[in-house]
Amino acid sequence: MTLVRDLSEEQILDRIVPLLPRGSSTLVGPGDDAAVLAAPDGRYVVSTDVLVEDRHFRTRWSTGYDVGRRAAAQNLADVAAMGARPTALVTSLVVPGETELDWVTGLARGLADGCAPVGAGAVGGDLAGGPLLVVSITVHGDLEGRAPVLRSGARPGDVVAHAGVRGWSAAGLALLEAGLVRAPLAAVPLEVADGVVLEDAWERLVAAHLRPDPPLAAGTAAAVAGATAMLDVSDGLLRDAGRVARASGVRIDLDPAAFAADRDTLRSAARAVAAAAGLGDPGWGPGRADIDGLTDTWVWSGGEDHGLLATFPAGTALPAGWSAVGRVLEAGESAPAARVTIGGAAPAVTPGWDHFRA
């Protein structure tokens, strides 16, 4: 078994670089001081995100491949959320010397598979030693002549729509933490998108956590269809909807009926997690309140789903992958303390994930 510390930096790069996709926008790829990318639009979109071992992933659950897929996905989703087409990413990797080389080459394969659906390139990076794994990615995109779709463009009367899964990542994490699903998942890519249904529905939730599959094409489709605001839902639906509402100076009212199917999907996982946690009436299993509370928390406040939330002018035919989940109101139209309401009422669950506070 080869460890990272057995090789020089250049030897490691020699193993990684051939695994990475070049991408169609790449004029100069890895190997020089910098890459050169095409920007036919005369503008480009840039976003960066970092994954830290034991904060954002655990090596006992996530393979290098999983972390690569996830790092690519969450960065590409930020570009898609601007209405842009992702073109290329660069990666800074901090890696302990005792890491297996296979973990690092797996990461490269995961990045490559994460980029494949949109044809983005992996055009450069930096490699450093350190006491734990840190994967920092910066991603770029092409607006293809369109205006960027910001968070600030929602207008009263707009329809609020969502693309992607809701609460799956949080439910998958809870299943892992409760020991109810084995991880790491199989080395072959597990698709959580349409077309492939895993045997075990819980495993789909775990896959959504370990290898999120954001609806990237839905981002550009929304921009083409005239979305007025859009963002990547990474910190929970309520928190991220609140960001659109604040940036746009509006209120957002979510329709609870639009989330009924999500709650049905997640209920069996919630029942099992609640039972494993010893909630509810001993001898009778978890009560309905515990189970509903868990599903609600996952759906409304679960982070890292990397779906897209957008607003569209009323009457817009929503593009494929999008469904209406609420509407945009005047800032004064509901309780002043709540930027986001559910069926007109202030949410009963906590708003979502903060990186420094519980």
Q: Provide the annotated binding site for Mg(2+).
A: 33, 47-49, 78, 126, 232, 235
The answer to whether 210 and 172 are in contact (CB under 8 A) is yes
Which backbone phi and psi does 172 adopt, to 5 degrees? -60, -45
**Residue nearer to a second copy on the CB measure, 20 or 291:** 20
Strand 322-329 versus strand 159-163 pairing type: antiparallel
125: three-class secondary structure by DSSP: strand
The answer to whether 67 and 304 are in contact (CB under 8 A) is no
Q: Which of residues 64-93 bind a second copy (CB under 8 A)?
A: 78-79, 81-82, 84, 88, 90-93
CB of 234 to a second copy, least distance (A): 9
**Residue 151 lies near a second copy (rule: CB under 8 A):** yes
Of the residues 72, 112, 123, 299, which one makes contact with a second copy according to CB under 8 A: 123
Closest CA to 349 of 294, 271, 311, 277: 294
**Residue 294 lies near a second copy (rule: CB under 8 A):** no
**Residue nearer to a second copy on the CB measure, 154 or 207:** 154
The answer to whether 338 and 347 are in contact (CB under 8 A) is yes
**Residue 35 lies near a second copy (rule: CB under 8 A):** yes
The answer to whether 333 and 199 are in contact (CB under 8 A) is no
Which two structure tokens, joined as six digits, stand for 340? Answer: 């986001």
CB of 225 to a second copy, least distance (A): 18
**Residue nearer to a second copy on the CB measure, 45 or 115:** 45
Strand 85-95 versus strand 121-129 pairing type: parallel
Of the residues 62, 105, 136, 311, which one makes contact with a second copy according to CB under 8 A: 136
Q: Which of residues 205-234 bind a second copy (CB under 8 A)?
A: 230-232
Q: Which of residues 317-356 bind a second copy (CB under 8 A)?
A: 354-356
